[in-house]
Each structure stands twice: as structure tokens, then as C-alpha cells.
Amino acid sequence: MTQQIQKFFSLLIIIIIGSLISSCSSSSIHTRGTVFNPDTQEVERHTYTPFYQLKTEILPENLQLSLLTQLHKKSIPGVYSIKEFTRRLLPNDYMAKSNTMLYLQNLTAQSITFDLISISIEQKHLPFSARSLTIPANKTTSVPLGEISIDLRLTTLNTRIEYIADGSEIKKEHREKEFDMLRNFQLIKEDDKDQKNPKTAQEDTTNQK
């Protein structure tokens, strides 16, 4: 009888460990931080979502460019929180995979040719092949740009884009531009930590450098 009980508990432990290992899937990442708001002259507490966004008219009044980056990290549920609480996080624990999508919206009545030469985030080049894209009039084209690793604690991603743009209504140009891609966040209020209408980071990024 004792041996049967031992076998039962051994099997139960194996099942639990197996279920934990199998649940090591890419999960969304939320982190917290504090930010000084110059408008209110107060320190705000933010819960950051796994998404970074950039939206800008890369060709004013002609072509709008948007980038959406999402963080993913494989881990056993609860392990990261335990490590964070016990202050046992290692440098590798802060690294996460990120997938980026590019959206190009033609704002004109004529097609635009956009040669995407390179895009880098935090000085890491995204793993895609340079390509020539034709965006039809008043249409949007989307392109997956691949995956890189970034520090999940970052709230701003330095982004560089090199391209050649041409069209019947625009002057052909070959340029490299630099932007800040901002991480979306929820504002934590002292009197309402679970607010129903979270504030998000600005979608329209005009801080081109």
C-alpha cells in the first residue's frame, strides 16, 4: 500500500512538472515604472504593455509610416515574478524577443514606390531582406520585419530607417531618419489602480531627430 502511494505521488509530481514545462510559451510582458510628468510636476506610476508604437508621416502629406513592436518571452508561469520579488533576476532575464510589423499608408491618389533598405532598433538590424514596395493610391501595405532581442525594461526604442521613395507626385529621395518608438502604458492612479480607461503613449510620434 505504501509503495502504491509513493508511486502515485511520484506520478503526480511528474505530471505537474510536465505541465509547467509544456506551459513555457511566449507570454505577453507587462512591467512597471515611475515617470516624472513635466506638465503636472508629479511622479506617475505606469504599467507598461508589451507594445511599442511609432506613427509618423515619413513623407509629409504623402506617405504615413507606422511600426508596431510586440514583446514575447518564454518562461514558466510565475517564475519571473518570483525572481523579481526575491531580487534574483539575471541579465538574461531582462531580455525578450520582439516582433515588428511595418505599415505604409499612401495618402495620395497616385502609387508610391518605397525601397526599404534597412531598419534598426536599438542598433540591431531587423532580419529582413531589402525590398521595393509599391503602395497603391490611398492603400496600406504591411510587411513583417522579423525578430530581435531587446531589453524589456526599455520604454523608448531608438529606431533608424533608411529608404528610397519615389512617385509621380513626390521628388525622389534617399534618406536615413531616426525616431523614438514609444512603449504603450497604463497610468496607475492612487485612488483607482484598476482604472477602466487606461492612457496610452502617443501614437503620433513627431520627435524625429
How many other CB atoms are there within 10 angstroms of residue 66's CB atom? 19
With beta carbons less than 8 A apart as the criterion, state whether 158 and 188 touch.
no
DSSP H helices in the chain: 2-22, 79-86
Spatial CA neighbour of 103 closest among 142, 129, 68:
142
The Cα angle at residue 46 between residues 45 and 48, in degrees rounded to 5: 160
Spatial CA neighbour of 186 closest among 197, 177, 178:
197
With beta carbons less than 8 A apart as the criterion, state whether 159 and 178 touch.
yes
| Cell of residue 143, nine digits | 510587411
Coil/strand/helix, residue 106: strand
pLDDT digits (tens), the chain, 209 positions = 566 655 555 544 544 444 444 444 445 566 666 666 677 777 778 788 899 999 999 999 999 999 999 998 776 555 566 666 666 767 777 789 999 999 999 999 999 999 999 999 999 999 988 889 999 999 999 999 999 999 988 999 999 999 999 987 788 889 999 999 999 988 776 554 444 444 444 444 444 45
pTM score above 0.75: no
